[in-house]
Chains A and B, each alone.
Chain A
């Protein structure tokens, strides 16, 4: 079954304690990305990756790190979480088609509800 798997689903942590949210996809997709969803702001892209070892900033990258050492995995790292990073996080993957590398429909994980106190 094609899927994007995020872990954990729920996480409560304290300010400053480093954490990692894992993301894995089984569709051999080149493109992976992380989003955060906040009330009234929709989904905002944090980081994306077009292939192994290729990552780039989205619209709200401050306070986050990512890595893409393998095609299937794209972890999100919060080195020093703060309360303003309390949010619902989604990982997604998609394929890039054609000469123009068109970013096609994304498959999303179930989400990670993070609370930083």
Chain B
């Protein structure tokens, strides 16, 4: 049972345009969501997060939107740069003692110069 889903395995975007990566979840108990970026032969690195009490969080070119009613979050990258080409994972967790972290399957983003 995949509780966190990234339905697009890959995405290609022109440099300078917006990249939108999507993530859906099924467990309404999730209250903290994170995005990680992964380059080949490296471990994932943290990008941005959002708590369930918010619907938007921004950090430079990266913005995460959370729609709790739809159980959907998205990562917007504006403007996209070739160095953004990587695999992006969304992850979800919930507090209160049960601390499993569930990751999505990843979306490979290619930014074309």
Contact = CB atoms under 8 A, between A and B. Distances in A.
Interface stretch (A37-45, A66-74, A76-84): A37-45
A43 B95 contact: no
Interface string B91-105: 101011101111111
Interface residues of A, number: 31
A117 B85 CA distance: 33
Contacts of B93: 102-103
Contacts of B95: 98, 100-103
A58 B46 contact: no
A104 B96 CA distance: 13
Contacts of A59: 100, 102
B8 to A, nearest CB: 13
Contacts of B44: 43, 90, 92, 106, 108
A4 interface: yes
B34 interface: yes
A5 to B, nearest CB: 11
B102 A45 contact: yes
B45 interface: yes
A101 B96 contact: yes
Given A4-B43, A108-B44, A111-B43, A103 B99 contact: yes
Given A101-B96, A102-B32, A111-B43, 20 more contacts: A40-B9, A40-B105, A41-B105, A43-B44, A43-B103, A44-B103, A45-B101, A50-B99, A56-B99, A59-B102, A90-B44, A92-B43, A100-B31, A100-B95, A102-B31, A103-B93, A103-B95, A107-B46, A108-B45, A110-B41
A33 B101 contact: yes
A31 to B, nearest CB: 7
Contacts of B32: 102-104
Contacts of B51: 102
